[in-house]
Amino acid sequence: MFCKNCGFSLKDGTRFCPNCGARVEQVSSEQPAAFSQLDDVGRPERDSEPVQLDRSEKNNGSGFDAGIEVNKQDTGSNIHMDYTMQMPYTKQTVNNQTMNSNSAFVNGQPVAGVAAKNKRKNKKLKYVIISLLAVLVLALGVVGGIVLKNNLHSGNIKSSLEAGNNYISQNKFSEAKTAYQKAIDLDKGNKDTYLKIRDEYVKAGRLDDAYYIIKLAKQNGVADMDAQLKDIEGKFQVEAIEDTASQNQDYALPMDVTLKLNGEEEVKAAVDWNKGAVNTSKVGTFEFAGVAKDYGRPVKLTLKVIAKISSVKGIMATVNQGEEYKLPEKVTAVMSDKSTVDMKVTWSTAKVDTSQAGVQKIEGTVSGYSPKVILTLTIKPKQTVSGNKMGYIKKVYEENGKKYIQVDEVEWYTGDQAIEEAKKDGNAEKDENGQYFVPDDYYMRDNTHDITTYEVTDSTVFKLLDLGGASVSAKVVTYDAFKTASVSGTSVSGSQLLCSISISNNIVTNIEEQYRP
């Protein structure tokens, strides 16, 4: 027998369907549940013969064979009639299965079971369609997300590039570099981004920055960058350096050179030279080409090979105690052909201490000359100076927590003494009466141009001339204002600040700009 609800095949006596759980009516497997008989409840088992109605009553024109068989049975007081409708015999195909219209079976299976099976198939098909739609929606979402993400990236790159360009126009190159790096980080493989940045740097004349950007693109795997690097390299100016070597001297080309990137930042750059060994057997001038490999800058070395150094003249120098002494950068070398050449010298110390009086010997080294070069420096004891001086202020500076002025002292005379000193020098003039005179009643002599250093303190009084009133007067100013005037000059002294200086025990107590009519 079969379940009425789902058509599942059941064993006789089953009370509940194991497939759908429906209660099972006990129906004989020989009589399918799809067609129930129209019996009265509780009738006894039929054992009478059916009564056949007249054939003319069977077909009522509706398409059905409306014949009815009537089973009569006498139950004593009532006559029970069993009617069974006979459907017209037709064939139908359902889901590629053949069934008879007057049969409750399809290909040997109950009609109810076929319907349930088809229902399950339709349900599965529904789930498949829903799943496909879900996958489609998900795919559209992913594609839309990718497109949105790409659009956002493009917008962010564009805004970062515009920010960098704006900084370039304001000469804020550090900020521009940060903005450009942000654009690059958003898409390191975007070739167009690198080229746009390069173009902005080239327009701004910053070829070193442009070269760096294209080199960064190449490092990040962007294709076709070698030609771009070559193009920028062709725009660089040649970095020219010079050096000198002695004949037959072992000479090695310098491993690096100092470059000034974009005319600002100084860096040490390793150089690849087109030649490895240098032949110094012949006297002459030779050129060597190379490239600062990390920066793409062409380098040219001009090497002058000169006769071998026979000797280097020692140096004698004198300085006053406490005064600054600057070591010379070159010394004079006597060559094997009797000529002299100024050679670079490297000293054993970078700065000389002159705080103590005495004699110092400082050693120096000259390339191609094995003996040491000796500089003998005599530091004269500081003399106690007091009184008044006149001179041009050459420098105002601070050192080791103290303040100093350097003065080019002059001789200053007024009145009759000015005339007498001018006559000695042949500079006195005569008036119409044959009398000697000097213009403006002063005479100044500056024959030595020696520079003397004096210390100033917080107690030193600084004065500059003030021409704002009816008469010229000296006005007290700060140390900083005086220092500025010593560089830029004043309306009275011009670019040379001439001052009278009062000194007590080598300390300046008062310094005042000198008025000259």
pLDDT at 23 over 60: yes
pLDDT band at 426 (very low <50, low <70, confident <90, very high): very high
H or E element that contains 85: strand 79-85
pLDDT band at 58 (very low <50, low <70, confident <90, very high): very low
> What confidence tier does 491 reach under pLDDT thresholds 50, 70, 90?
low
* Angle 131-132-135 from CA coordinates, rounded to 5°: 85
What is the model's pLDDT at position 110?
54
- Local structure of 178: helix, strand or coil: helix
Structure confidence at residue 109 (pLDDT): 52
DSSP string, 114-176: HHHHHHHHHHHHHHHHHHHHHHHHHHHHHHHHHHHHHHHHHHHHHHHHHHHHHHHHTT-HHHH
pLDDT reading at 230 higher than 80: yes
Q: Which of 365-369, 382-386, 432-436 has the lowest mean pLDDT?
A: 382-386
pLDDT computed for residue 119 by the predictor = 66
Nearest to residue 464, comparing CAs of 496, 504, 493? 493
At 164 the pLDDT is: 92
Question: pLDDT grade, residue 286 (50/70/90)?
Answer: very high
**What is the pLDDT at residue 33?**
43
pLDDT tens profile 191-229: 999 999 999 999 999 999 999 999 999 999 999 999 999
Q: Give the pLDDT mean for 393-416.
A: 92
Mean local confidence (pLDDT), 297-310 = 90
Q: Specify the pLDDT at position 118.
A: 65
C-alpha neighbours within 13 Å on the C-beta side of residue 246: 22
Contact in structure between 242 and 285 (CB atoms under 8 Å): no
Q: Can you give the three-state secondary structure of 95-115, one letter per residue?
A: CCEEEECCCCEECCEEHHHHH
The pLDDT of residue 510 is above 90: yes
Say if residue 287's pLDDT is above 50: yes
State yes or no: pLDDT of 53 exceeds 50.
no
Q: Starting at the edge strand that comes first in sequence, how are the strands of the sheet with 284-292 ordered?
A: 239-246, 297-306, 284-292, 265-273, 256-261
Q: Determine the average pLDDT of the residues in 149-155.
A: 62
Predicted local distance difference test score (pLDDT) of residue 113: 56
Whole-number average pLDDT of the chain: 80
Highest mean pLDDT among 62-76, 121-135, 496-510: 496-510
Please give the residue that has the higher pLDDT: either 7 or 77: 7
**Which residues on adjacent β-strands are paired with residue 379?**
319, 358
Q: Return all residues near 271 (Cβ < 8 A) that are at least 6 apart.
A: 253, 254, 255, 256, 257, 290, 291, 292, 293, 299
Q: Is 80 exceeded by the pLDDT of residue 468?
A: no
